[in-house]
Structures are given as C-alpha cells and as structure tokens.
Amino acid sequence: MGSQSSHIDFALIGHQDSWKKITGFIEFLTKGKRKLTESQAAEVYSFIPPRAVFDIEVRSITGQTVRGSYIETFISPDELGLRYWKRNMFKVQEAAACARQLNAAVATLGGFTSIVLEGRDDSLNDGSYTKFTTGNTLTAAFIVRNLEKACRRFGKELGDQQLLVIGATGDIGSACLEYFSRKVKKVLLCARQQVILDALAAKLQRQGIAAQASTDIRQLLPQADLVIAIASSTIENFVPELCKKDIIICDAGYPKNLVFDLKGYFSDRLFSGGMGQVQGGYSFTPEIHHSFYHFPVECVGHGCLQEAVILAFENMHEPFSTGKGNITLEKMDRIYALANKHGIRESPLFNPLMAWD
C-alpha cells in the first residue's frame, strides 16, 4: 500500500527542523542526483509544494500492521515565526489536502504544523473521510512519564521539586502542568504573554497550588529542580549558569527549544521529550531512515506522529486531539494505555549527544 493506493491507514504531516537534515532529505528525494549545500537548499526548499514523500509501515506487538504516508510541508526551519504565518498556514492546508487525496483514515499534524493553525485545526475536520489530530495528547503523556522516570533515576521525590514549564500556557505545556501541579512542591510558569500567564498563575493559586509566573525565564531558572521546555520558539535567554547543578531538563520542543552547547552542560541531565519507542518496529519505503530520521536509540519517533498510528491500530478514525487547551488527564491516560497495548512506550531517555538508559 502506498501513495498510489485508494486508502491508507494514516498520514503524518511534518516539517524538518534543520538545514543539515534538509540537505540529506533533498539528496534522498532526487535519488542522490542533487547534493545541495545548506545555503543552496535554503534558496529553493520552501518553494516546493507539500507532498507525500515516503510510505511507512508500523508493526504492533499484537501482530497488527498499519500503513501510511509521510507528507512533507516543506516549511523552512528559518520561517517558523509569526512573519511567515500566512504562508505556513497555506502549506499546512495543502498538506492536509494531500492527506485527503490519499484517503488517509487519520492524519496527524506533527510539531509546528498544529501551531500554525493556532488551535483552529478543527477547521480541517470538515466532514471529509480523513480525520485530523494534533497528536499533542500522546506527546504530553510521554513527556510526563519520562520526567517521572528521570526523577526516579536520580532519586528525586516529586513532592520536593519545583517544576518550571516553559510554554506553560500552550496546549502541551498546560497539559503537563495539569498532570504535575498537584504532585510537585511548586510550579514556575514561563511564556511571553504576561496577561495570559498571570491569569493561569492566578487560577492555579485559587486551587491552592503554589505557582509563580514570569515572562523572564532568568527569574525562575535559579529555583527550578525540573524543567519542561515545550515552547513554540527557541528560548534564547536560557542561561545554563543560573541552573541548579542537579537540575533535570526535558526539551520537548520541535525544533529543540534549548540551543546551548550540550557538551558543556547537563549532557546527562537533559533529555529529548515527547518521544515514543515502537517495540514492534517500523520501516520506510523507500528507505530514508539513515538520511534524516535517526536518534541515539532504536525505533523512536515523535509522540505526535505516533498518536495517528495508535488511532489507526484501534480503528479510531476520529480527531482525538484538537484545538488548544482540550487535553485532559483522562485522555492522556487513555491514549497512553492504547499506545502501550501496541508496544509503543515512552522512549528510553536520550538527547542528541547520548542515550542515558
């Protein structure tokens, strides 16, 4: 089954997060005939229309197999900001049209592609056969499970920890907060828009939760024992020197939120969050794995993409995660249990430099 078939189980809509990956990707697309430098790639990349570029087969531990396609939006990693919002929105809508054309039963908006629609991804669920999900519920479930795992590894009791969430008012950030706010000693909230942030802090305080908010991360960093970085843009003013020595950091942004050199800081205390590992394995046709989708541990992938795979395994052709602020703890538990049923679990802890586990 592939892009020529009349029906596929799922479609994954995504974008690349670095020019290094994109040059490998272009080489793959041109079957090795074109090797572009990063600056040459930057000149042409965002003019390529969204399209399906390879097929994927994912195997469950139950013995089931589902098949789908990866649709690349060709959104430039340098153009994720507000300035390019209109252009990116068209690209996501064109990519969604590709998913409909392929008759995908369920399609997911990986990483930045759901942010572009600013919570209006319900508009994609217009009654057509293909149902769209953001994939954010499984992403949040993997983030919180992996942070708990990291705490156990370092002997940290959650009740003694102060948790900083960068991107606290976002879809995934607020779900992580909901999960941890009654488990940790205090929550520290960071985002750029003061009014929304203050409203969130006040809401938590009314519920008896110790909460402090600031748009200036430097005010919060010295207090943080745990960090979840889940913002929709790079955190330029994250100052590693302000952090406690035994801090644990989960960077779940795509592209990564934190850009300091890991070699100098926290290489064994910072992990890539929101990732799941597929025990049954997956394969790509044509084989592109080594060109761009590789990690220091086997068979891992983004939770947002894996959510569509789980829905396909379960024949749940529905918009499971939509809009902003609709993720509940019940939904996180439900999708996490279904993922586990199919052998998809939170990934072993790793970062771009090394695997921890």
Ligand X SMILES: NC(=O)c1ccc[n+]([C@@H]2O[C@H](COP(=O)([O-])OP(=O)(O)OC[C@H]3O[C@@H](n4cnc5c(N)ncnc54)[C@H](OP(=O)(O)O)[C@@H]3O)[C@@H](O)[C@H]2O)c1
List residues binding ligand X (CB under 6 A): 111-112, 114-115, 135-136, 139, 166-173, 190-193, 196, 230-233, 235, 252-254, 274, 302-304, 324
Cis before 50? omega within 30: no
Give me the phi and psi of 244, to 5 degrees please: -65, 150
| Ramachandran assignment for 190, one of left (phi > 0), alpha (psi -120 to 50 degrees), beta (any other) | beta
Let me know: does 176 contact 250? Beta carbons within 8 Å: no
Residue 44 or 259 with smaller CB distance to ligand X: 259
Residue 94 or 198 with smaller CB distance to ligand X: 198
Residue 130 or 133 with smaller CB distance to ligand X: 133
- How near is the Cβ of 113 to ligand X at its closest, in Å? 8
**Six token digits for residue 136:** 């954010």
- How near is the Cβ of 299 to ligand X at its closest, in Å? 15
**Six token digits for residue 212:** 């402090």
E strands, 191-265, in order: 211-214, 226-229, 248-251
- How near is the Cβ of 188 to ligand X at its closest, in Å? 12
- Using DSSP's 3-state secondary structure scheme, residue 105 falls into strand
- How near is the Cβ of 40 to ligand X at its closest, in Å? 26
Residue 41 or 220 with smaller CB distance to ligand X: 220
- How near is the Cβ of 5 to ligand X at its closest, in Å? 27
Alpha carbons 22 and 28: distance in angstroms, whole number: 10
- How near is the Cβ of 180 to ligand X at its closest, in Å? 15
Residue 172 sits at the vertex; the CA angle it makes with 166 and 178, to the nearest 5 degrees, is 85
- Using DSSP's 3-state secondary structure scheme, residue 128 falls into coil
Residue 98 or 230 with smaller CB distance to ligand X: 230
Residue 23 or 321 with smaller CB distance to ligand X: 321
In sequence order, what are the residues at sequence separation of 6 or more whose Cβ sits closer than 8 angstroms to the Cβ of residue 328? Answer: 178
- How near is the Cβ of 34 to ligand X at its closest, in Å? 28
Say how many C-beta atoms besides its own lie within 10 A of residue 212's C-beta: 17
Say how many C-beta atoms besides its own lie within 10 A of residue 190's C-beta: 28
- How near is the Cβ of 229 to ligand X at its closest, in Å? 9
Residue 50 or 276 with smaller CB distance to ligand X: 276
Q: Which one, of 209, 221, 225, lies nearest residue 157 by Cα?
A: 225
Residue 27 or 334 with smaller CB distance to ligand X: 334
- Closest residue by beta carbon to ligand X: 170
- How near is the Cβ of 29 to ligand X at its closest, in Å? 23
Residue 166 or 308 with smaller CB distance to ligand X: 166
Let me know: does 271 contact 356? Beta carbons within 8 Å: yes
Q: Which long-range contacts (CB under 8 A, 24 or more apart) does 267-273 make?
A: 267/351, 267/353, 267/354, 268/354, 268/356, 269/154, 270/351, 271/146, 271/150, 271/349, 271/350, 271/351, 271/356, 272/347, 272/350, 272/351, 272/352, 273/142, 273/143, 273/146, 273/147, 273/228, 273/230
